[in-house]
C-alpha cells in the first residue's frame, strides 16, 4: 500500500505546496489551524481540485494535472471522516451505515447484512441502530461515521480532526479505541490534527505541516533521532529554544554542537534540582503554582542579558531563594535545523 502526493493549490491568502509519500500504517498531519492540513485531505478525497501535481494511491492515479486525470470522489475509494461526522440527519444509524455499502449490488444483500452485523458488533452500535443522528451522543456519532466508512471498503481512510467535536475527558479513551480499530483494519490512514498528543498516540508517522508545506515526516517512536526543523519542534509542543553559535547558546551556557545545528531545545520537564549532569546556577523570574505542580520561568545566571526565558514544569520542592542550581541530562537536549 502506498500513497504518493505532490500537489499545489493557490488560494487568495495562502498557497498549498505539499509533497509526501506513505508506505502503509497510520500517518498524522500535525499543524496549526490554517496550515493547510484539511485542504490537503480534501484534495486527496477529490472534494477540492488542486491546481497542479499528482496523487497516486496504490499505483492508481487519482489526480494528475499532466495526464488530465481527476477522478470524482465516488471513484477514488477514499474514506473521509468529517470533523462533524456528517451523518445523514434523515436516516437512522442503520441506514447511515447501509448507505456505505451501496457499491454492492442488491442481489448481494446477504453480504451487506453480514457486514452490517459484524461492524455494529465491533463498534458497539447495536443499542442505537434505529436512532436518528440527533438522538445519539458525540462519541456514538463518531463510531457510526467510522462504521459507515469501514463498510464502504476504502483503500485509505482520512480522518479530519476526529476528536475535536468531543469532550476532553472522553478523548483519550476513544483515541485508544480508534487506534485499535484502525490497526485491526490494516488499511492506510491519514489523521489531521493540531494536537501533538493525539498525533503521537494514534500514528506510526507524524508529518508536520506549516504554511501549506510539509516540514518533516517523522517516525513516532524515533521522533528526535534525525535532525528536525524548529517549526516541527514547536508543533510538537516544545517551548524552550536557544539560538546556537558554535558551542555557545543564546541561553548563555555551552553545549556540544559538533554538527553545527542552528537551534537547541529542551522539554519543560527535563530539569531537576537533583540531576548531576550539566548543573548550572539559575535565576527564577516567576513561579506559578497549580495542583501540586509549579511552572517556573528562569534564566541561566551566566546569561542575564538573554531574552529567552526557560519554562520548567516541576513537582519538586523548590528553595525559597530565587537563585539555585539545577541540572539536566545531556540526552534531553535536542538539536534543530532552521
Partner 1 sequence: MSLYPLYNSLRIALFSSIIIFFLGLFLGYWVKKFPKVIKGIFDVILTLPLVLPPTVCGFFLLIIFGPNRPVGKLLLDIGIKIAMDWKGGVIASAIVSFPLMYRTVRGAFEAFDENLAFAGKTLGLSNHYIFWRIRVPACKNGIAAGSVLAFARALGEYGATSMLIGYIPGRTATISTTIYQYWRTNDDKNAWLWVGINLIISALVLIFVNIIENTERGKKNEFSSKY
* Smallest gap from residue 43 Cβ to partner 1 (A): 12
* Smallest gap from residue 202 Cβ to partner 1 (A): 21
* Smallest gap from residue 136 Cβ to partner 1 (A): 8
* Smallest gap from residue 62 Cβ to partner 1 (A): 12
Count CB atoms within 10 A of the CB of residue 214.
Answer: 21
Coil/strand/helix, residue 89:
coil
Judged by beta carbon, residue 79 or residue 212, the one nearer partner 1 is 79
Contact indicator for 329, 275 with CB cutoff of 8 Å: yes
* Smallest gap from residue 284 Cβ to partner 1 (A): 44
Which cell numbers in the block locate residue 52? Answer: 497542479
Judged by beta carbon, residue 31 or residue 79, the one nearer partner 1 is 79
Applying CB under 8 A, the residues found at the interface with partner 1 are 45-47, 72-74, 76-80, 82, 84, 86, 88-90, 99-100, 102-103, 134, 137-138, 148-149, 152, 154, 165
* Smallest gap from residue 327 Cβ to partner 1 (A): 48
Give me the residues paired with residue 290 across strands.
293
**How far apart are alpha carbons 214 and 20 in whole angstroms?**
7
Judged by beta carbon, residue 77 or residue 262, the one nearer partner 1 is 77
Judged by beta carbon, residue 191 or residue 266, the one nearer partner 1 is 191
Judged by beta carbon, residue 44 or residue 282, the one nearer partner 1 is 44
- Strand order across the beta sheet in which 323-328 lies: 271-272, 323-328, 280-290, 293-300, 310-314
State how far the alpha carbon of 335 is from the alpha carbons of 211, 216, 224, 233, 267, in Å: 23, 15, 9, 10, 12
Judged by beta carbon, residue 75 or residue 121, the one nearer partner 1 is 75
Which helix (H) or strand (E) is 213 found in, with range? strand 213-219
**How far apart are alpha carbons 289 and 221 in whole angstroms?**
32
Amino acid at each position: 500500500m502506498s500513497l504518493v502526493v505532490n500537489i499545489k493549490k493557490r488560494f487568495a491568502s495562502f498557497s498549498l505546496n505539499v509533497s509526501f509519500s506513505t508506505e502503509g500504517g497510520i500517518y498524522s498531519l500535525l499543524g496549526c489551524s490554517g496550515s493547510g492540513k484539511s485542504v490537503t485531505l480534501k484534495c486527496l478525497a477529490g472534494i477540492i481540485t488542486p491546481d497542479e501535481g499528482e496523487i497516486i494511491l496504490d499505483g492508481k492515479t487519482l489526480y494528475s494535472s499532466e495526464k488530465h486525470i481527476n477522478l470524482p470522489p465516488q471513484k477514488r475509494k477514499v474514506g473521509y471522516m468529517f470533523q462533524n461526522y456528517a451523518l445523514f440527519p434523515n436516516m437512522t444509524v442503520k441506514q447511515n451505515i447501509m448507505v456505505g455499502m451501496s457499491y454492492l449490488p442488491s442481489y448481494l444483500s446477504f453480504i451487506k447484512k453480514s457486514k452490517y452485523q459484524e461492524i455494529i458488533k465491533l463498534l458497539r452500535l447495536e443499542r442505537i441502530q434505529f436512532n436518528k443522528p440527533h438522538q445519539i451522543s458525540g462519541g456514538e456519532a463518531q463510531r457510526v461515521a467510522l462504521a459507515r466508512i469501514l463498510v464502504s471498503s476504502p483503500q485509505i481512510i482520512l480522518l479530519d480532526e476526529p476528536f475535536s467535536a468531543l469532550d476532553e475527558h472522553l478523548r483519550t479513551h476513544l483515541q485508544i479505541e480508534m487506534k485499535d480499530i484502525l490497526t485491526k483494519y490494516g488499511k492506510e490512514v491519514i489523521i489531521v490534527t493540531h494536537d501533538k498528543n493525539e498525533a503521537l498516540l494514534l500514528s506510526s508517522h507524524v508529518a508536520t505541516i506549516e504554511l501549506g508545506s510539509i516540514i518533516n515526516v517523522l517516525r513516532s517512536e524515533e521522533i528526535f533521532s534525525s535532525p528536525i526543523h524548529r517549526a516541527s519542534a514547536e508543533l510538537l509542543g516544545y517551548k524552550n529554544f536557544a539560538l546556537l553559535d558554535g558551542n555557545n547558546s543564546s541561553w548563555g551556557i555551552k553545549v556540544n554542537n559538533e554538527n553545527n545545528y542552528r537551534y537547541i531545545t529542551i522539554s519543560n520537564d527535563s530539569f531537576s534540582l537533583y540531576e548531576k549532569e550539566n548543573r548550572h546556577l539559575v535565576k527564577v523570574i516567576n513561579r506559578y503554582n497549580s495542583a501540586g505542580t509549579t511552572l517556573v520561568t528562569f534564566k541561566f545566571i551566566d546569561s542575564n542579558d538573554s531574552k529567552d526565558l526557560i519554562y520548567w514544569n516541576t513537582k519538586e520542592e523548590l528553595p525559597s531563594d530565587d537563585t539555585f542550581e539545577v541540572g539536566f541530562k545531556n540526552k534531553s537536549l535536542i538539536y534543530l535545523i532552521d
